[in-house]
Structure 1
Amino acid sequence: MDSAHGYDDLREDRDPTAGGVGECQTPIDQDERRMHVRAYNHWVSLLRGRAYPAIEDLEPESIADFGPHSVLLDFSAGVEDPAIQFIGRALRDECGMDQSVVRIADVPSRSLLSRLTDHYHQIIAGRSPIGFEAEFVGTRGHATLYRGILMPFSSDSQTIDFIYGVINWKELAAVDHQAALDAELSAALRGPRHDPVPGAVWADGPGAAAREADDEDGPAPTTLDDRLAAARDSAAAARAAHLRSHAALYRALGRAHDVALAAIRDPDRLATLLAEAGIVAQARAPMTAIAKLVFGTDHDKTRLTEVATVLAWAQRHGIGDGALSHALERVEGGIKGLVAEERALRRPDPVPEAGPRPLAERAPLAEIALDSGLDEGAPVVLLGRATASGIVVVGTIGDDAKLTQQVLRRLS
């Protein structure tokens, strides 16, 4: 049976994708779990101090990551039979649904979508996101493992009148197919071992975690498309970690830099990818387009600016392929120090303040026959009093250079 649990504890340093009581024994893999963490993080980013995110801030059709696996329910006309405002393409195709499915009542009872919509009453009662994971037999007769999350939205920041759900799934192998796979695996394990030659690096030395992560991925991607796919995976992992993990973030930035280098070698393909993503490149900030392409246009704008700044720093320093993540580990002050350094370089030099025009170059207003006791050309400040016919001089100051400069600046 299905199990549900709240997502209120995602702010803690624990596995945010942990299932509830009674979940099935076959686990959802890590990538599928990450999708729901990314969906929850997106929901949190839209809160902005409100009880619930505003529905006008949600654009599921523009979310390339989990939008195709999502559905948007509209309760503004009542909770008994809510309208379906949006169904992602992947979810619609999996359930074999056409455009006639417009309300909850239209959803087939044994479809994957029904496993998501069956939980909407729990969100209204609990008034917070809920996650669930279970296994069921779908309309094709195949056992299907699924994991979903439902998140509340509001049109007035107080009432839950919309619910956004994201679901991921995988069909399990049939019993006879699984038996055949198990037999092949057992045969392979009985064969001779071919242990790799140990590498000539310290296993626990600097950058070991990054090397291990790179080794798991196999050969480094070379084409722009392959690098973009790898960079997006790493960016999603960093976002799922709330950017708390330096290793995940540095790796994502390193792969984004690899994308930027590949884009320089293949500008035509870059232009095509940007056009497909609806991203307009700006000549004054070319790395911002790369940042959006990798991390997504829905990513926090401040974070996108920081990513673009890091990529610009890497380009300015001539960082090579696959070397940025290690270079970031050695930067004094980390990413914050790097961003501050780049911004200082971009800041225009202050324009020197123009001094007051020299006293000797100023045109005289009047000449007074008065013995000041000073050398000819020496500055003197006169103190006067206005009268009906002019100005009466009552005193002179000729030994205060600071006062003279202040008067000249005021005259300027």
Structure 2
Amino acid sequence: MEVTREIDEGVALSPQSYDDAGVDDMPLVLGDERRMHVRAYNHWVSLLQGRAYPSIEDLDPASISDFGPHSVLLDFSKGIEDPRIAFLGRALREECDVEAGIAQISQVPSRSLLSRLTDHYLQIIANRAPIGFEAEFVSTRGHPTLYRGILMPFSSNGDAIDYIYGVINWKEMVDAGTQAQLNADLAAARRLMPSQPAATQVWADGPSAAFPAEDVDAATTEAVPADASLYDRLAFARTSAEAFAASEGRSRGALYQALGHAHGIAIAAANEPEALAEMLSDAGLKSQARAPMTPIAKLVFGAEYDKTRLTEFATVLTHAQRHEVAREGLVAYLESFPGGIKGVVGAERALRRKPAADATQWDDIAAQLRSRPPLAHVDIARAGDGEFVVLLARTDASGGLDVVACVEGDKALTERAVRRAAA
């Protein structure tokens, strides 16, 4: 089949002009998929280091888990007529159904997605700058496909462009006839479904917890790669949030899963504050110093989601951070917490409702414990410097106690132990 629509032949980019004249200004919108190319471009800029072009020695596509599988590296060191393919990412290779051993551009199948990327390489030579482009075409499998790509120059000597690195992302679409048939089939299926009586939302951890088990599924753990980017984590979270919305609020598993992924975003964002700031900016959200988890909840569930529920979700994330719940451990934590989400929210609200005199009460408790004679003295290596710590001991054969661990870093546990000891 012939190409159905070409949106743009390519736009030359520069570090100064990308935001104004780059991929984001092209008419075809692919949603969040376009951000892969922004990240690829930012990676290219980070390798410039004051040079006209980044050094090819600084590029290792195989080690880039984010967009490396969607990329290709062209080697022009032997001439520009038929460049060598020095690297071809797994996702791109599988999509185009080409062998790993493909060596030259001349071997790229015509009208394949890879050809859509390599067709633009001469523009890099002419413009001596990155080229961003996007288009729609019909693939060799007959599927309408939207794609967006970027090509970036590299050099082995700092002067000449002898390598080009390309990244491309795509989305297959169904044709109009197939989509119409799908819509008709879906409408027919809905008409055949038995009518359901009107009911209020069912929350697995709320007053409706007694509803039949089939209305509230169990939470399951969906593994996210340890090196996943914030964008990938957000994609996982939104998928679970969409599943929860599709269940009309009845899927506890999808809800817990979405919150678990949101918790993973919050933890990972501590090491990637700039990426989080970019994600919030893309979504039209602002960070909140007094409520840092609210924007993350909005990222996952949508800014227009019910504000009361968003507040509860943000409270759960705050609780998880305060109790140092492991990155992938929130689902299990909520499953074991009495009352689930509602229980966590209640505990957090109770904590905030503590009277102001509580600080004075704590001083009295601390003073009481300081005045007590020690039961024993133990010289033990410690990681922290807090005044009170929790020691874990086991009983030995003679009935004495052997200290086996010093539990530090859990403020809530230490505070509970101190209050219990003073009671």
* TM-score (structure 2 length as normaliser): 0.49
Structure ID, larger Rg: 1
* TM-score (structure 1 length as normaliser): 0.50
